[in-house]
């Protein structure tokens, strides 16, 4: 006879680990011909991500609730720029900045999805840039790599709609990749740039100035980004290769030192990989999603110590154009990262929803709201919901992250029959209105 052992629900914060990754419910969001996704932000303060797409100026796709978007609005300009978003004037609304051949242009948002007239700012020959708050004043600043490409410059927001250059930094070689992160966990933004066969790392002082601190050997690089991959508080370096389907993770140690690169080959046919980061399987670890060219993407799953021991492939529906870029964004209210994918030479942006079963929500639980007790028949158990509950559901997750049972729950006594379940350990999760409110474990032996 199978025996049922029920562990009491934990009346505290709880995290469920799931190993499955999947994407489905693809939708196609129309964008202008030749446009491609440049950046995302919430421009109308409705709590939902909006899109900025490059297209002779930029196309703005504003959300109109979860999964719905208003008709595309084109913000015209005389040149094609590459756009980033941030709060450049300190009013707590997202703005848009674009970089041209010798200038930057800023459109200041009003929080309702519309923008000021463009404000231009002269820059000597920028070829790449990034945005961040370099002096911790709450205003977004930016850094540019400048032609001929062997130095970069810092431009600080003055908080009233303009910028002040605060310094330039040179190295021996030409470069066109730059990223920012906190590589020593001191709370200040640092910078890293590709410098020939090296990655040069510049320590941020916290006032908008930097000093060259270390150099890291690297293979030929197509893109350079940073992310805290192993949850130690220090940003790590991640590169993709321009000559192979290769992603390299270079983890920070102490005092701007780095471990040797760990290399991962991504799915067959992916060229010039474009990557983005998120926790796709709700295990509190940062994963990597990669696309490039072909209609198959790959998620590299983080093992928990900053290594990636497994990959999950997914299909990207397209209209024939090559896959260009990917961004991990939240497209619906389930707190799981979804994907926005740009298709080159097409008029559509592909939106893929994360269908990973287990949703990670950290939520306050009302003490003494749930009581659980075994049924003497061992084929079921009962639990008591003392509080009023609406749209309640209990689900059971097996040891490999699969949903094997679900049942609606009500206020009062609920009985869960487990006769058909095989021997094993299960996670029990209580939901209300699609939000996790409690969890525990169930052992059938």
Q: Rounded to a whole number, what is the largest CA-CA distance in the chain?
A: 79
- By CB atoms closer than 10 A (0-12, 13-18, 19+), residue 255 is exposed
Residue 429: both structure tokens together: 């999760």
Distances (CA, A) of 32 to 57, 68, 109, 150: 12, 17, 22, 35
CA dist., res. 270 & res. 275, Å (int): 11
Specify the pLDDT at position 363: 32
Residue 98: both structure tokens together: 């674009």
Cβ-contact 131, 142 below 8 angstroms: yes
CA dist., res. 55 & res. 33, Å (int): 8
Q: Residue 383 gets which letter from DSSP? A: E
Strand order in the sheet with 392-397: 4-6, 435-444, 424-432, 392-397, 403-409
Reference 108, options 64, 31, 163; nearest CA is 163
Specify the pLDDT at position 430: 75
* Torsion-angle region of 149 (φ positive above 0: left; ψ -120 to 50: alpha; else: beta): left
Reference 323, options 348, 356, 300, 299; nearest CA is 348
Specify the pLDDT at position 360: 33
> For every one of its 445 residues, what pLDDT tens digit does the chain have, with 9 covering 90 and above?
554 444 444 333 233 334 568 887 667 766 665 567 889 999 998 888 899 888 778 888 888 766 677 888 888 888 778 899 999 999 999 999 999 888 999 999 999 999 999 999 999 888 889 999 999 999 999 999 987 768 899 999 998 888 999 999 987 776 678 999 999 999 999 999 988 888 999 999 999 999 999 999 888 888 899 999 999 999 999 999 866 788 999 999 988 999 999 999 886 667 778 899 999 988 889 999 998 877 788 999 998 888 998 888 888 876 666 788 899 998 876 778 899 888 776 667 788 888 775 433 333 333 333 344 444 445 677 766 766 666 778 877 776 556 788 888 887 777 887 777 787 777 777 777 666 666 666 777 6
Helix (H) or strand (E) holding 353: strand 348-354
CA dist., res. 71 & res. 442, Å (int): 49
Residue 433: both structure tokens together: 């209105």
Q: What are residue 288's DSSP bridge partners?
A: 277, 300
Specify the pLDDT at position 5: 47
DSSP letters spanning 51-70: EEEESSEEEEE-BSSTT-BP
Strand order in the sheet with 50-54: 36-41, 50-54, 57-61, 73-76
CA dist., res. 344 & res. 166, Å (int): 37
Specify the pLDDT at position 403: 72
Specify the pLDDT at position 371: 43
Residue 183: CB partners within 8 Å, gap ≥ 6?
Answer: 190, 192, 201, 203, 226, 234, 235, 252, 256
Reference 421, options 404, 407, 440, 406; nearest CA is 404
Residue 376: CB partners within 8 Å, gap ≥ 6?
Answer: none
Residue 414: both structure tokens together: 């609920």
Q: Residue 13 gets which letter from DSSP? A: -
CA dist., res. 332 & res. 131, Å (int): 26
């Amino acid at each position: 006879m199978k025996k049922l052992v029920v562990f009491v629900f934990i009346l505290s914060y709880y995290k469920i680990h799931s190993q499955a990754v999947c994407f489905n419910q693809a939708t196609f969001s129309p964008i202008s011909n030749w446009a491609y996704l440049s950046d995302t932000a919430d421009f109308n303060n409705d709590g939902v991500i909006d899109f900025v797409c490059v297209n002779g100026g930029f196309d703005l796709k504003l959300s109109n609730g979860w999964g719905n978007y208003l008709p595309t609005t084109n913000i015209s300009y005389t040149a094609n720029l590459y756009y980033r978003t941030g709060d450049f004037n300190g009013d707590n609304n997202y703005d848009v900045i674009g970089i041209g051949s010798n200038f930057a242009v800023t459109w200041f948002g009003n929080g309702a999805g519309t923008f000021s007239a463009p404000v231009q700012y002269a820059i000597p020959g920028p070829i790449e840039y990034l945005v961040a708050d370099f002096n911790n004043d709450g205003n977004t600043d930016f850094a540019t790599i400048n032609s001929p490409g062997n130095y970069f410059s810092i431009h600080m927001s003055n908080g009233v709609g303009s910028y002040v250059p605060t310094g330039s930094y040179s190295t021996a070689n030409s470069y066109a990749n730059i990223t920012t992160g906190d590589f020593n966990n001191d709370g200040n933004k640092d910078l890293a740039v590709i410098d020939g066969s090296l990655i040069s790392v510049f320590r941020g002082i916290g006032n908008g100035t930097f000093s060259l601190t270390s150099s890291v050997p690297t293979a030929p690089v197509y893109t350079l980004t940073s992310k805290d991959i192993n949850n130690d508080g220090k940003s790590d370096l991640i590169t993709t290769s321009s000559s192979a389907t290769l992603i390299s993770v270079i983890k920070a140690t102490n005092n701007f030192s780095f471990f040797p690169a760990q290399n991962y080959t991504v799915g067959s046919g992916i060229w010039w990989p474009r990557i983005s980061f998120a926790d796709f399987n709700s295990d509190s670890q940062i994963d990597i999603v990669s696309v490039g060219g072909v209609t198959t993407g790959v998620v590299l799953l983080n093992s928990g110590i900053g290594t990636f021991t497994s990959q999950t492939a997914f299909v990207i529906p397209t209209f024939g154009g090559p896959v260009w870029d990917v961004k991990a964004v939240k497209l619906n209210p389930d707190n799981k990262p979804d994907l926005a994918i740009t298709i080159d030479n097409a008029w559509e942006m592909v939106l893929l929803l994360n269908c990973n079963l287990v949703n990670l929500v950290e939520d306050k639980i009302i003490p003494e709201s749930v009581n659980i007790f075994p049924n003497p028949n061992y084929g079921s158990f009962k639990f008591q919901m003392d509080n009023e509950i609406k749209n309640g559901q209990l689900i059971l997750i097996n040891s490999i992250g699969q949903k094997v049972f679900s049942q609606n729950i009500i206020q009062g006594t609920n009985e869960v029959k487990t006769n058909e379940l095989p021997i094993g350990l299960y996670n029990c999760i209580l939901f209300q209105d699609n939000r996790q409110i409690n969890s525990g474990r169930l052992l059938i032996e």
